[in-house]
Amino acid sequence: MYYQYRWIYAALIAGIVFFISYQYDIQPTYACLIKSQEIQKQLTRQLGRYHLKHNRINHSHEMKFLRSDKNTDQLSVIPFLSALEHESGVRIHLLNHEIEQKIGDANAVKINLIVYGSFQQIYLFINRLEAFSVLILNFNYHQTNFYQNSLGLELFIIKNNFKQRSPSRFYRQRPAHNPFCLPIHLSIANYRNDLSLLQNAPLEKIKMIGYIEKGNQHRAIVSLENQTIFSLNDGNKIGKEQGIVKEISPHHLSLLLPNQKWVVLQM
């Protein structure tokens, strides 16, 4: 009788083993995998929005900026990164940073770093970057495990040179200020590329300070008197005179006015 139902017993035992394995091993592992994938997609979307918001420049671009002949203070990124590291809880490994460049009245430097931490910590770190004049040129997100992630970043940090002023009430209320410019200028220091600001300024107040080239694509870097920086494509409309960008070259920017007159902004 026992041997007659041995296949039924074997199938029953196998079913019980499979159920226990599924309940306590396969299902939690699969749920953890799905959650990890959703977290990775969420961070990728956040970084993608950050790229679009700050008019991302690919690291393969050939960036040609006007260098300064004056001696400028060395741009120290260590206090800046240490502050973000403390606020977000991530661990930052600085790989290298290039020599400071001069863009009109602003200084800039490009750095490469790796950020380690949980998704929430890295997510907070990315959000903190939005308060500063920082462009993300390139990034590589890697999930080591569910609790540990790494994010490789190539950043372009813009430092505005404002005249030193006495601390204001705004400064005292905002101790965690931008280390690259005075807090009183935070509203204008951030790189937003909002061209509506350029449309409210006369063309004589707009200066061409840089040039970017990638293949047949050309972009001009311009600045207002308050050191707010913008990038322009062909066809953009700027200035109170409503000039349309028609030609971008390494040394000048040509605009066509509604009255069919031409205006040239020299580097």
Q: How far is CA 251 from the centre of its chain?
A: 27
CATH number of 57-166: 3.30.70.60
Which residue in 42, 176, 181, 224 sits closest to 118, CA to CA?
42
| Residues of each domain in the chain carrying CATH 2.30.30.830 | 192-266
Identify the pLDDT of residue 51: 55
Identify the pLDDT of residue 250: 80
Identify the pLDDT of residue 73: 39
Residue 113 contacts residue 81 (beta carbons within 8 Å): yes
Cα 205 to Cα 82, 132, 176, 197: the distances in Å are: 36, 24, 32, 12
| Cα–Cα distance measured from residue 94 to residue 97, given in angstroms and rounded to the nearest whole number | 8
| Cα–Cα distance measured from residue 223 to residue 198, given in angstroms and rounded to the nearest whole number | 9
CATH number of 192-266: 2.30.30.830
Identify the pLDDT of residue 2: 53
C-alpha dihedral, 182 to 183 to 185 to 190, nearest 10°: 100
| Residues of each domain in the chain carrying CATH 3.30.70.60 | 57-166
pLDDT tens for the chain, 267 residues: list them: 556 667 777 778 888 887 887 777 777 777 777 777 777 677 766 666 655 554 444 333 333 333 333 333 334 667 777 778 888 888 888 777 666 665 555 567 778 888 888 877 887 888 777 666 677 777 777 766 656 778 887 777 766 543 333 333 333 333 333 333 333 333 333 344 567 777 888 888 888 877 776 556 777 878 777 656 777 888 888 888 889 999 888 888 899 999 988 988 887
Identify the pLDDT of residue 126: 81
- pTM as predicted: 0.37
